[in-house]
Amino acid sequence: MAKVNSVLGPIDTTDLGFTLMHEHMAIFSWAMRQVFPDWIDRDEIIATAVKDLQIAKEYDVDTIVDATPINLGRDIQLIREIAEKADINIIASTGFYFTEEPFFQYWTTERIVDLLLPEILEGIGGTNIKAGIIKCGTGELGITKLNRKLLEVASCLHKETGLPITTHSIPANRNGMDQVDVFTEEDVDLSRVVIGHCDDAFDQEYVEELMERGCFIGFDRFGGMAPDGERIDALLKLLEMGFEDHIVISHDCNAHIDWVPKDMLMEMKANILLNWRYYHFPKNVIPILRENNVSEKQIRVITVDNPRRIFE
């Protein structure tokens, strides 16, 4: 029976259940956190995450993939504490975001792979918590020289360990296709790849091309900045066309993100991001799918079966 590493230890893929494939517990700058002791309120972040995850569990969510890579502030101890208190499966990531860190310039692909491989085989940051998925991404500038190196790193880690890959992409630039091109050149098994954020700037032809290449597409920003109406319509159209075998679901939300000041973030969550919660899709979107004649089998495929296939 296939196993996947969660932050609380290995679990059978048959026990993953309803899985949200692209979330974050918290995103922040470690440098700012080290210099300013009150940069984040760790206890508050944990309490917020646990509260929302417990609600998500009430709506049958069993597993969360935390897609926070190293350079978005991944805090493995915080993630583990949230998983323990919420009593939920959380799968942690290894890898780097597309942001071009200065040291990427002179570190070779091979040396970065050697740096990250122990996070999968031994544990992250001196713990026994092993990464269960590989994260990489491509930004507005597309596949730059340094960005390609990070995609190659993800590819090497995937081939060495068998872990799946999940990405950040910009569909307005269609750069998910560029990612797939690199993965193809690197002999990655595309059936183990999720191209993220395909529900932003939705492009029917583009997502069909991605699915035809053999990868999964992430409809993973429900409840975020853009209204859900067009996102739901796009999902309904794909399901009506029978594409459910290539779709996974999520919100790309978090309990805290320091990209905006805390007071501004609280105001946004109170007035704009009301549904940017781990439980929004099962609570609010699935009933809409049912009202539009989406079958229970299709709902299960995109929430349970496809994540299991990716990890198996």
Q: Which CA distances in Å does 95 have to 73, 260, 280?
A: 12, 24, 27
SS3 216: strand
Helix runs in the chain, H state only: 30-35, 42-58, 76-86, 109-121, 145-161, 175-185, 204-213, 228-240, 262-271, 280, 286-291, 296-300, 306-311
- Give the CA-trace dihedral at 265, 271, 273, 275, to 10 degrees: 140
Write out pLDDT tens, residues 206-252. Answer: 999 999 999 999 999 999 877 899 999 999 999 999 999 999 999 99
pLDDT of amino acid 296: 98
Q: 202: pLDDT confidence band, cut at 50, 70 and 90? A: confident
Query: Across the chain, what does the average pLDDT equal?
Result: 96
Q: 20: pLDDT confidence band, cut at 50, 70 and 90? A: very high
Beta bridge partners of 247: 217
Instruction: For residues 222 and 219, give the distance between their C-alpha atoms in angstroms, rounded to a whole number.
Output: 7
Element (H, E) at 66: strand 61-66
Domains and CATH numbers, the chain: 3-311 (3.20.20.140)
Burial of 109 (0-12, 13-18, 19+ CB in 10 A): middle
pLDDT of amino acid 245: 98
Pairing outcome for strands 61-66 and 89-91: parallel
pLDDT of amino acid 62: 98
Write out pLDDT tens, residues 75-86. Answer: 999 999 999 999
For the segment 41-50, the average pLDDT, to the nearest whole number, is 97
Residues listed for the chain? 312
pLDDT of amino acid 209: 96
Beta bridge partners of 104: none
pLDDT of amino acid 269: 84
> In percent, how much of the chain has pLDDT > 90?
91
**Which tokens belong to 10?**
């290995």
Residue 287: HSE in the Cβ half-sphere, 13 Å Cα cutoff: 5
Please state, as a whole number, how many other Cβ atoms lie within 10 Å of the Cβ of residue 154. Answer: 31
CB–CB of 219/247 below 8 Å?
yes
Name residue 7's amino acid. V
Beta bridge partners of 195: 217
Please state, as a whole number, how many other Cβ atoms lie within 10 Å of the Cβ of residue 174. Answer: 16
CB–CB of 116/153 below 8 Å?
yes
Write out pLDDT tens, residues 100-116. Answer: 888 888 999 999 999 99
CB–CB of 93/117 below 8 Å?
no
SS3 135: strand
